Amino acid sequence: MGDFVGERRRYYRLTFELDVRYKFVSQMIEIKQDKFYEGKSNNISVGGLLLKGIIPNPEYISRMFLNEIAILTYIFLPRLTEPIKALASLRHIEILDKNINLYNMGIEFTEITNESKNILSEFIISKI
């Protein structure tokens, strides 16, 4: 396993690129760009992932940190016919290209089934 000095992680994080479909959802405010976006994971754990993708409206960032906007994710694991579905919240962010609103988003799963956690765990263990 990797060196975790200075990090407080609950779960092992696997560096692995996966396809992720995601959309921004809210029960508090209207989301004008109500569509799915295509992104990639940079790494993944049972508790969350680092998602490389577009945020269509930079104003969403502060709303995500206030938990007014969540991210609905569909994570596509190899050899599975159905994606893993999880609702997530933003924990940290890095600008990759401001011109096209491309970011690395560190997200934490807030709603995910135990079955999905088990599938993710088995996938991660199989890649170690």
CATH topology of domain 14-127: Thrombin, subunit H (2.40.10)
For residues 105 and 4, the model is more confident at 105
pLDDT, tens digit, 9 for 90 and up, residues 5-48: 445 557 788 999 999 999 999 988 888 778 999 999 999 999 99
pTM of the model: 0.88
Q: Return the pLDDT at 10.
A: 73
pLDDT tens for each residue of 42-67: 999 999 999 999 999 999 999 999 99
Helix (H, G, I), strand (E, B) or coil at 28: coil
For residue 27, CA distances in Å to 59, 62, 87, 127 come to 16, 16, 13, 37
DSSP conformation class of 126: H
Question: What's the pLDDT tens digit per position in 103-122?
Answer: 999 999 999 999 999 999 99
